[in-house]
Structure 1
Amino acid sequence: MTQPHEHDLGLVHDLGTLRRRNVLRLIAGAGLATLAGCADATDTAGTPNSSATIPNNSATTSGTPTTSPSSASTPSSTAASCAEEIPEETAGPYPGDGSNGPNVLTESGIVRSDLTKSFGSASGVAKGVPLTVQLVVQDSAKCTPLAGAAVYVWHCDAEGRYSMYDDEIGDENYLRGVQAADAQGKVTFTTIFPAAYQGRWPHIHFEVYASLSEATAAGKISATSQLALPEETCKTVYATSGYDGSTQNLAQTSLQRDMVFGDDGGVRQLATVTGSVQDGYTARLTVGV
């Protein structure tokens, strides 16, 4: 297997440059855009097209998710709780948003729910265990959903490589896409389970924008963060073929020691995951902004 880039070194660099960029935005008065949404509905685990609300994050630092599809929680339709504000994190070395090299956001075809295939002149397909990512964007103070907010998601493939940057897949743009939130503030993406590469806990990057037009213009970012994947699910996935090296890389770090999630043990960024290797997994996270 081709060894991935030294992502940890690039990330340390970006932790400086991108954090400074965020501070400058705050000094300029831009701040984080207030997004809305408390989600109140029910969902059946492993059903990505459901209109159900994603439950608030309740994962612990143990990194142990509920992995049985039958055990997905069913929140009360009268619940009125809010997620805490999601920690602001680096976009990393390979955002593809124009801040560090190529910009996929302004390309025709970026607005999509299926991230497994490249679009435009590229034709590659990312292979791996199926994963559905469901995010609900909330206003952490107002508890109201923001219909029409946009979320840009990107992550590495099963070999730890990022499209548009790694030499082997530099001409591909898969595992990147934008969706507009529905009336409950929810976006849904179909993708694959990402690898664990050296120096980082398994994760998915995302940026929140006030609108689809703002996102596709690579405009003002309301929030930048990362979703963490639970340890037991990762171990199960990485035992399958195609994830060479991920088991070893996972064993060399932890959610608590990760350079991004380590500040609070990833509690507010640890997704609830249900499903199986055979049927695919669904990762759910409520994003307070």
Structure 2
Amino acid sequence: MTGQEAAHEPKHTRDLTRRKVVAAGAGVVVAAGVGGTFATGAFAGEETTAAEGKTAGASGEACYKLTSETTEGPYYIDADKLRRDVTEDQEGIPLTLRLKVIDSETCKPLANAAVDIWHCNALGVYSGYEAMGSGDGGGGGGGGGTPPSGTPTGTPTGAPPDGGGGGGHQEPTDDERYLRGTWRTDKRGLVEFRTVFPGWYQGRCVHIHTKVHVNGTWTDAGYEGGTTVHTGQLFFDEESVLASAEVEPYSTNTTTRTTLDEDTIYPGNGTQGGLLKLQYRKNAMAKGVVAGLTMGVDPMG
């Protein structure tokens, strides 16, 4: 949504905030276990991605640079469900998202960090904002071209990135929460989600939003308190997006697609800017994709 995403809050103003993530069922933290292996369907037992393969300071490697901050966007909803499988009933290419969170100064993994993800479905629609249609400009799920209903509420939280735009946070229009979730990193700084490959909507390339919070408290009810140390977006290369566009229901999305190079939010700096490393079988993408990335953050905020 060119110029439509809300600017992210400047890092120096992200002080300790009160937040609570509602658990998806009583006792979910205890039942799921800390850092337990998450089943990944067809990808169970497959070799780990590059995001998982590096250990802190391994082989004398230089530490990762700080992962680029990008706009939060207008569709963030706090108090999302504490879960790793965020798919619910959404159709699309299965996506296993594996993220590693490290201290950008020391390269040490950050354990017990809370990682949020949220993104649109295969037809460009965000849960909680179905009345907005396909993102912020594409009309209903198939991109029929009708403008979004409703108007922005609130105010922007800071200056937009270069080439970005204004626009404030949108108030949710419904109680749906598919393709949203929060989970904790294990002792290696790893967290894994099961979702579907995102679609696209007017003015934006294909992407996933993410936040990282530290120093909060995990309870049976969820995650409380903490400091937000990263707000960013995760991006997909053009080859993978073109391949997804051949698969239903993506192939029914008639919204004009913005490429990665055309996008005004992607900082253009590869993995440091959130460009995911992908694994999938060519000519069989519909069976699933594994995406991975190491995110360097400043735990001091």
Task: State TM-score, norm by structure 2.
Answer: 0.66
Contact 2:117 2:181 in 1 (8 A): yes
Superposition deviation, residue 244 in structure 1: 4.0
What are the equivalent positions in structure 2 for 1:207-226 lying under 5 Å apart?
207-211=211-215, 213=217, 216-217=223-224, 219-226=226-233
Superposition deviation, residue 153 in structure 1: 0.6
Q: Which has the higher helix share?
A: 1
What are the equivalent positions in structure 2 for 1:1-289 lying under 5 Å apart?
7-11=1-5, 14-15=6-7, 18=8, 21-22=9-10, 25=13, 47=43, 54-55=49-50, 78-81=58-61, 82-97=63-78, 104-105=79-80, 110-117=81-88, 125-167=89-131, 170-211=174-215, 213=217, 216-217=223-224, 219-244=226-251, 246=253, 249-250=256-257, 253-261=258-266, 263-268=267-272, 269-276=274-281, 277-289=285-297
Contact 1:163 1:175 in 2 (8 A): yes
Superposition deviation, residue 208 in structure 1: 0.1
Say if 1:91 and 1:207 are closer, same or farther in 2 by CA, change over 3 A. same
Contact 2:2 2:263 in 1 (8 A): no
Letter in 1 for 2:86: L
Say if 1:177 and 1:239 are closer, same or farther in 2 by CA, change over 3 A. same
- Distance of 2:295 and 2:242 partners within structure 1: 25
Superposed CA deviations along residues 214-258 of structure 1, whole A, max 9, x for unmatched, are 7833653111001001111111111111114657633xx332331
- Distance of 1:220 and 1:75 partners within structure 2: 26
**Identical positions, percent:** 33
CA RMSD of aligned residues (A): 3.2
Say if 1:212 and 1:159 are closer, same or farther in 2 by CA, change over 3 A. farther
- Distance of 2:49 and 2:102 partners within structure 1: 11
Contact 2:11 2:229 in 1 (8 A): no
Superposition deviation, residue 111 in structure 1: 1.2
Superposition deviation, residue 162 in structure 1: 0.4
SS state at 2:82 partner:
coil
Task: State TM-score, norm by structure 1.
Answer: 0.68
Say if 1:266 and 1:127 are closer, same or farther in 2 by CA, change over 3 A. same
SS state at 1:233 partner:
helix
Say if 1:275 and 1:23 are closer, same or farther in 2 by CA, change over 3 A. closer
- Distance of 2:186 and 2:12 partners within structure 1: 31
Superposition deviation, residue 22 in structure 1: 1.6
Superposition deviation, residue 213 in structure 1: 2.9
Letter in 2 for 1:88: E
Contact 1:256 1:266 in 2 (8 A): no
Structure 1 residue runs without a partner (length 5+):
1-6, 31-43, 57-72, 98-103, 118-124
- Distance of 1:55 and 1:175 partners within structure 2: 24
- Distance of 1:280 and 1:95 partners within structure 2: 26
Say if 1:74 and 1:9 are closer, same or farther in 2 by CA, change over 3 A. closer
Superposition deviation, residue 75 in structure 1: 6.1
- Distance of 2:44 and 2:117 partners within structure 1: 16
